[in-house]
Amino acid sequence: MSEAKVRERPSGVSQPAISATKRSAGATHTGYRREQNEDAFWGDEARGVWVVADGLGGHQAGEIASQTVVEEIQRSSATDRHYEQALRRAHALLVGDENTATAMGTTAVVVAEDGGYFHIYWVGDSRAYLWTPPGENTESHGSLKQLTVDHSYVQMLVDSGAINQEEAANHPNRHVITRCIGGTANTSLEIDRASFSWNSGQKLLLCSDGLSNDVSEAEICQVLARNPDNQRASEFLIAAALDAGGRDNITVQVISSPHAIAPDDENQNSRTPTEQPESRLFFSARGTMVARIATIAIILSISAYAAWQLLNG
């Protein structure tokens, strides 16, 4: 898998502060077949909220729609934390202009933490997955569970029993969604919500369909297992979607449980040398050198003391 050069967000689009020492990281890429990136994402670890939105409409309409969602989530994060209402405000703004209402739409998936729990709000086919690290009852790369249910035509066919999941993955209408924020003259908006509790070592993945349509759950699981650093995992997920063709905009956010396993625990140690960041390799080597120097100094001190005892005994 090649490592992607992740594109900067367009001017005016919020971008979360990304650091390997923090609990979350994200990345986005235009893909190979789109001229512009209509996805938007944002996160605030201090307030425990993250969002991914996938704009629809083209000609910058989708970019405006997805950014409208991000801005309303940002506003709620600083005030009332009523994220369902934030999505409704975004919908009202997008359908308020009769000239653009049917041209500007977006999906959205939002995660908001509440102590040891988290709540998910979503509209459309942007997804939230929960990754659980390997354990006695899981596979070597852990397990991945889709927490959201797509609001799409293909999902309706699956729910009715008309097709199975394998057929859905290759269905010609798999991109057709049945709900979105904006994109319609209908002022009402139906939002799904689900709540879950965190367990130690788990991670949440939020993504647009540029990832989920082209990268299998098995490969997603493998990337998360092999890359404990969330920024590196985000970049490798983008790379996987690009390797699969990069047919759409691709956006991901990876969020660690607040009860995350410490960096020196087993998951971190399982990282292969090629996946280890250079800074950690440098400090690891320096730490080993310091330990060796200290050991030599102790041995020399003991030897000198023993010699002095023999001479003066």
Render pLDDT for 75-125 as a digit per residue (tens, 0 to 9): 999 998 999 999 999 999 999 866 555 579 999 999 999 989 999 999 999
Nearest to 183 by CA among 70, 59, 55: 55
What local confidence, expressed as pLDDT, does residue 220 receive? 98
Q: Is the pLDDT confidence value at 229 over 90?
A: yes
Which residue intervals of 97-246 are DSSP H helices? 153-160, 165-169, 209-212, 217-226, 230-243
Mean pLDDT value across residues 10-35: 67
Most confident region among 25-34, 267-276, 281-290 by mean pLDDT: 25-34
Model-level pTM?
A: 0.77
Mean of the per-residue pLDDT values for the chain?
80
Tell me the range of 55-69, 87-101, 259-273 where mean pLDDT is highest.
55-69
Q: Closest Cα to residue 42, out of 53, 51, 54, 32? A: 51
Most confident of the following: 1-10, 253-262, 268-277, 291-300: 253-262
Nearest to 52 by CA among 31, 24, 23: 24
CA distance 164 to 101: 34
> 53 falls in which pLDDT band (50, 70, 90)?
very high
Q: Judge whether residue 169 has pLDDT over 50.
A: yes
